[in-house]
A and B are shown apart, each in its own frame.
Chain A
Amino acid sequence: MNDIRTIALITGVLALLTAVTGVGQFLKRHPDRGLDPAAVRTFNLRIRGWWVLCTVLAAAFWLGTTATVVLFGLVSFWALREFITLTPTRKGDHRALFWVFFAFTPLHYLLVGLNRYDIFSVFLPVYATLFVLARVAFAGDYKRFLERTAKIQAGLVVCVYCLSFAPALLQIPIEGAAGGGRSANFRLLFFLILLVQFADCMQYVWSRMLGRRLVAAHVSSNRTWEGLLGSATSTALLAAALWWAAPPFQPWQAALAGLVVATMGFAGGMTMSAIKRDRGVKDYGTLVVGHGGVLDRIDSICFAAPVFYHITLLVTGARL
């Protein structure tokens, strides 16, 4: 029963990816369709990014829970370095940053791996924050103190704390008619990533087709209210249609999760746009060609992961 769902999900995703790859290649070979060649190129690069994403995720799933937690830990680490690189810091922040990178981030993921929800849910927002405040004060540079510590804290919360709720999904005990077990947890994580990616695309498509009212013209020139509404609706529909793949959900619960995930993902994109606009850059890094930085790719999932995690907790009624 369980394996049928997993196989169905994998087959569906592979079929979809192959189909969009075909469409992308067709558009590339036929530039006379009146489509913007730059948009086609972006589309194809995005598809390539999805293949990479799926391959990496498949490898991590195959290697097990620990490998997946480590993988997300590395992604967090890389995203945090992009975040801090583009944020002006002063010399007085150096020692605090050292501990943030080499102690707090790995320790937090260790706690996630050990499934210590009671500790990891406060470790970064409380203990790391207090440490950063005190360490910067001890360093003796009080210039723009709150601003500097807030930057480090924002980086930690978005890049590390929030993202870690995605692999934490693997630890939620799932039982019931839909079938439990490890593969169910992996499907749940994949469900979240799929919804986030889908919501991103739908936002783009709806904004392109119907977009009239920009949410905030100075922050993002392509995110519209129509895009948000369209993306939330389409993602809710997709989630409801795929409810069988995400173990604890009834169709209406899955739809609600899709709605929330799409909205949070949109909020994440807006937030990162605001930070990037303030720093005067377009993308965060140059890791995968055409894909901006790691942070550009995970901004939506960072915002969506914690709320999806807690919805799952509510639905399963699991006590950690």
Chain B
Amino acid sequence: MLSPADLTEHVASKVPLESASGQKAGRSAFCRAAGLSLAALARLLAGASVRWIASQPDTCQRIYFANHTSHLDALVIWASLPQPVREVTRPVAAKDYWSRGIVRRWLAQEVFDAILIDRTAIKVHQSPVDLMLREAGTTHSLIVFPEGSRSVTGEVDEFKSGLYYLAKKRPDIELIPVHIDNLNRVLPRGEFLPVPMLSCISFGPPLWLERGEAKLDFLARARRAVLSLKE
């Protein structure tokens, strides 16, 4: 016997699944090839060594949250994931940067399948958290930068509350801390030509919002989880 609640949940989970797979098939072979070569190029250029610390790559639904130091961050994290995981992972990026110019827009839409957030028009009824969760559906993982914008000093700034609301609304999703080291030297703020230094991407063990955990406590704990990967 199915209860009505089961039924609605079943339907709810079914719909985004289909739309997601439809979208994947709709992506042309050219875009996928571009994605593959771009991932290879990003890894080569950023000389990224990837470490999974007490954690394993998995295609289950996850939110990767990282410190934000460079425009390359989302691209390099995305490129550091194994191909099957990359297929289901969508970076969350700033609309003002990624919709400027044909190349960036094409990359964001067709290659990374990014979720673009309009930073200038964040309102209560148009919350970016809802948009992210709607776009993620029940299959996609997300890459987010809870600091909101690139850190100027190279230190990890305080986290904005978005990560807390993501965790609260979808307690079933694993939150994976990611630490990005040295990418700010590859492409610092305000530069457009990269210098091929070596960088390091560390993925940590998943964490969840604890029952009754206060917002600030959770955000501080998440930030510490990112910092602890720095060694």
- A101 in contact with B188 given A81-B47, A85-B182, A286-B49 (CB within 8 Å): no
Is B196 a contact partner of A101 (Cβ separation < 8 A)? yes
Is A101 a contact partner of B195 (Cβ separation < 8 A)? yes
Beta-carbon contacts of B123-158 to A below 8 Å, as 1s and 0s? 000000000000000000000000000000000000
Is B193 a contact partner of A81 (Cβ separation < 8 A)? no
Which among A85, A95, A286 has the greatest number of chain B C-beta atoms within 10 A? A85
Q: Which residue of A lies closest to B189 (CB)?
A: A91
- Kindly provide the distance from the CB of B231 to the nearest chain A CB, expressed in whole angstroms: 12
Is A95 a contact partner of B193 (Cβ separation < 8 A)? yes
- Kindly provide the distance from the CB of A156 to the nearest chain B CB, expressed in whole angstroms: 14
The answer for the CA separation of A98 and B185 in the assembled complex, in Å, is 11
Specify which chain B residues have a CB less than 8 angstroms from the CB of A27 in the assembled complex.
none
Q: Which residue of A lies closest to B194 (CB)?
A: A98
- Kindly provide the distance from the CB of A89 to the nearest chain B CB, expressed in whole angstroms: 7
- Kindly provide the distance from the CB of B194 to the nearest chain A CB, expressed in whole angstroms: 8
Is A81 a contact partner of B188 (Cβ separation < 8 A)? no
Specify which chain A residues have a CB less than 8 angstroms from the CB of B185 in the assembled complex.
85, 89, 94
* Interface band, chain A: 10 to 19
- Kindly provide the distance from the CB of B53 to the nearest chain A CB, expressed in whole angstroms: 15
Q: Is the interface of A mostly helix, strand, loop or mixed?
A: helix
Is A84 a contact partner of B197 (Cβ separation < 8 A)? yes
Is A285 a contact partner of B195 (Cβ separation < 8 A)? no
Task: Answer yes or no: B34 CB below 8 A from chain A CBs.
Answer: no
Q: Tell which of B47, B49, B182, B193 touches A98, judged by Cβ atoms closer than 8 Å.
A: B193
Task: Answer yes or no: A311 CB below 8 A from chain B CBs.
Answer: no
Beta-carbon contacts of B182-219 to A below 8 Å, as 1s and 0s? 10010010010111111000000000000000000000
Which among A81, A94, A95, A286 has the greatest number of chain B C-beta atoms within 10 A? A94
- Kindly provide the distance from the CB of B42 to the nearest chain A CB, expressed in whole angstroms: 15
The answer for the CA separation of A245 and B193 in the assembled complex, in Å, is 47
Beta-carbon contacts of A2-17 to B below 8 Å, as 1s and 0s? 0000000000000000
Chain A residues 207-228 with CB under 8 Å of chain B are none
- Kindly provide the distance from the CB of A60 to the nearest chain B CB, expressed in whole angstroms: 20
- Kindly provide the distance from the CB of A160 to the nearest chain B CB, expressed in whole angstroms: 14
Q: Tell which of B47, B49, B182, B191 touches A94, judged by Cβ atoms closer than 8 Å.
A: B191
Is A81 a contact partner of B191 (Cβ separation < 8 A)? no
Is B198 a contact partner of A285 (Cβ separation < 8 A)? yes
Q: Tell which of A81, A91, A94, A95 touches B198, judged by Cβ atoms closer than 8 Å.
A: A81
- A94 in contact with B188 given A81-B47, A85-B182, A286-B49 (CB within 8 Å): yes
Chain A residues 74-123 with CB under 8 Å of chain B are 77, 81-82, 84-85, 89, 91, 94-95, 97-98, 101
Specify which chain B residues have a CB less than 8 angstroms from the CB of A97 in the assembled complex.
195
Specify which chain A residues have a CB less than 8 angstroms from the CB of B193 in the assembled complex.
94-95, 98
Is A85 a contact partner of B198 (Cβ separation < 8 A)? yes
Beta-carbon contacts of A274-295 to B below 8 Å, as 1s and 0s? 0000000000011000000000
The answer for the CA separation of A89 and B182 in the assembled complex, in Å, is 11
Q: Which residue of B lies closest to A285 (CB)?
A: B198
Is B195 a contact partner of A98 (Cβ separation < 8 A)? yes
- Kindly provide the distance from the CB of A86 to the nearest chain B CB, expressed in whole angstroms: 9
Is B198 a contact partner of A82 (Cβ separation < 8 A)? yes
Is A85 a contact partner of B188 (Cβ separation < 8 A)? no
Q: Tell which of A81, A89, A95 touches B196, judged by Cβ atoms closer than 8 Å.
A: A81
- Kindly provide the distance from the CB of B12 to the nearest chain A CB, expressed in whole angstroms: 45
Specify which chain B residues have a CB less than 8 angstroms from the CB of A286 in the assembled complex.
49
- Kindly provide the distance from the CB of A198 to the nearest chain B CB, expressed in whole angstroms: 30
Specify which chain A residues have a CB less than 8 angstroms from the CB of B198 in the assembled complex.
81-82, 85, 285
- Kindly provide the distance from the CB of B16 to the nearest chain A CB, expressed in whole angstroms: 40
Is B182 a contact partner of A91 (Cβ separation < 8 A)? no
Specify which chain B residues have a CB less than 8 angstroms from the CB of A82 in the assembled complex.
198
- Kindly provide the distance from the CB of B99 to the nearest chain A CB, expressed in whole angstroms: 26
Is A85 a contact partner of B197 (Cβ separation < 8 A)? yes
- Kindly provide the distance from the CB of B138 to the nearest chain A CB, expressed in whole angstroms: 37
- Kindly provide the distance from the CB of B191 to the nearest chain A CB, expressed in whole angstroms: 5
Q: Which residue of B lies closest to A93 (CB)?
A: B195
- Kindly provide the distance from the CB of B52 to the nearest chain A CB, expressed in whole angstroms: 14
Specify which chain A residues have a CB less than 8 angstroms from the CB of B194 in the assembled complex.
98
- Kindly provide the distance from the CB of B135 to the nearest chain A CB, expressed in whole angstroms: 35
Residues of chain B touching chain A, judged by Cβ–Cβ distance below 8 Å, are 47, 49, 182, 185, 188, 191, 193-198
Could you show 8 A-B contacts with beta carbons less than 8 Å apart?
A81-B47, A81-B198, A84-B195, A91-B191, A94-B185, A94-B193, A285-B198, A286-B49
Residues of chain A touching chain B, judged by Cβ–Cβ distance below 8 Å, are 77, 81-82, 84-85, 89, 91, 94-95, 97-98, 101, 285-286
Q: Add 12 more A-B contacts to A81-B196, A85-B47 (CB < 8 A).
A: A77-B196, A84-B197, A85-B198, A91-B188, A94-B188, A94-B191, A94-B193, A95-B193, A97-B195, A98-B194, A101-B196, A286-B49
Q: Which 7 A-B pairs have the closest CB atoms?
A: A85-B198, A97-B195, A85-B197, A98-B193, A91-B188, A81-B196, A98-B195
